[in-house]
Every structure is written in structure tokens, then in C-alpha cells.
Amino acid sequence: MSMERAQVAMNDQYNATARAQGVVPRAGIPIMYWYQNVDYNNFESGPPGPGHEMTTITADDPCDNAGYLITPTSFWKGNVSSIAGNNNCNVARVYNIGLTDADDFSLFIGGRGHWLERFSDNVGRFQVHA
């Protein structure tokens, strides 16, 4: 699957999930996608749902070298297992919940972000950047 097609599919999933929850998707530039399961919830198999949650992280501007520091909600701290980037967000430094360990993950589809390894269901924050 091409990067462009994958990003379109992730944006479509985000919008469908938001509408299903009665939320109007907010304006903003999508910079990251978080998935409850490895391999992006196997997004080609159907839309997100219970046990296969996903969310889109938006910002006012695309990523640059400074990027964004993002602290997940309590649900996502214990449930994010794979991540992908968008709009120049190519790398995420992932910290564990205790903020005692960190590692860098590439955010392109099929990159290291397809599974957060020891950080799966154990994320304290992300530093995402170009």
C-alpha cells in the first residue's frame, strides 16, 4: 500500500470514528495516528471499533525539527500499541509511563512504529518531530 493511500485510509477512519461518536471532526493538521493494536489495527480489515480504537492527533502546523511534545490521556497511555505520522512528523521519541526509558520510532507506514515493542500499552509521552 502506498503512503498516500495509507494516509487517506487513516484520515477516513478518523472521520468515521468521530462521526460514529457524535463528534464533528475538528479542524487541524493531522500529525499522528495512534492505534490500540499492533500493525495499525490491521486497518485494511475494516473500521475501528471496540477493542480496535484509533485516534488522530492534530496540530496547528506540520512538524518541524522542534516538533510537538504530546502527553496521552490515561486511556491511551495504557492502550497505544502502534503509531504512524503525517505532515512531516517522521520520528517520535517514545517515553514509558514512568519516564525512565525512551526510544525513537520511525513513523512511516511499515516502519518501526507498527509495534511499540516495550512501550506498547506503556506510553508516558511522545516527542514527535520532522
Rounded to an integer, the average pLDDT of 93-110 is 96
Rounded to an integer, the average pLDDT of 89-118 is 95
> What's the pLDDT score for residue 41?
82
User: Quick check: pTM over 0.85?
Assistant: no
> What's the pLDDT score for residue 111?
87
N residues, the chain: 130
Rounded to an integer, the average pLDDT of 38-42 is 83
Round to whole Å and give the CA distance between 56 and 86. Answer: 10
Decide: residue 33, CB within 10 A, 0-12 exposed, 13-18 middle, 19+ buried.
buried
Phi and psi at 30, nearest 5°, equal -70, 125
Percent of the chain with pLDDT strictly greater than 70: 75
- Can you give the residue range of the structural domain that contains 48? 3-129
Rounded to an integer, the average pLDDT of 69-87 is 95
Domain count, the chain: 1
